[in-house]
Amino acid sequence: MCGRFTLNLAPAVLQEWFDIIEGVDYPPRFNIAPTQPVIVIADQEKLRRAILMRWGLVPMWVKDPREFPLIINARTETLPEKPAFKGGLRHHRCIIPASGYYEWRKGADGKKQPYYITLKDSEPMAFAGVYSTWMGPDGEEIDTTAIITLSANKDIRHIHERMPALIGKSQIDDWLNVRGVNEKEAYAMLRALPEGKLDWHPVSTRINSVQNDDLHLLDVVSEARPETPKKPVSKQMDLF
The single residue of 77, 103, 123, 195 carrying the catalytic annotation is: 103
What is the DSSP-derived secondary structure letter of residue 172?
A: H
Contact 221, 44 (CB under 8 A): no
- Report residue 106 CA to chain centroid gap: 22
- 64-76 as b/e, with b when 16 or more CB fall inside 10 Å? ebeebeebbbbbb
| Residue 105, φ and ψ in degrees, nearest 5 | -105, 130
The single residue of 2, 22, 81, 223 carrying the catalytic annotation is: 2
What DSSP line would sit under 170-224, residue for residue? GGHHHHH-TTTS-HHHHHTT--PPPTT-EEEEE--GGGGSTT--SGGGG---SS-
Active site residue 140: no
| Nearest CA among 217, 8, 33 for reference residue 122 | 8
Report, in this order, helix, strand and coil percent for the chain, each rounded to 5: 15, 35, 50
The CB-side HSE value for 174 (13 A sphere, CA atoms) comes to: 15
Contact 80, 86 (CB under 8 A): yes
Q: Is 206 helix (H, G, I), strand (E, B) or coil?
A: helix
Active site residue 2: yes
Q: What is the enclosing helix (H) or strand (E) of 6?
A: strand 4-7
Catalytically active residues are 2, 103
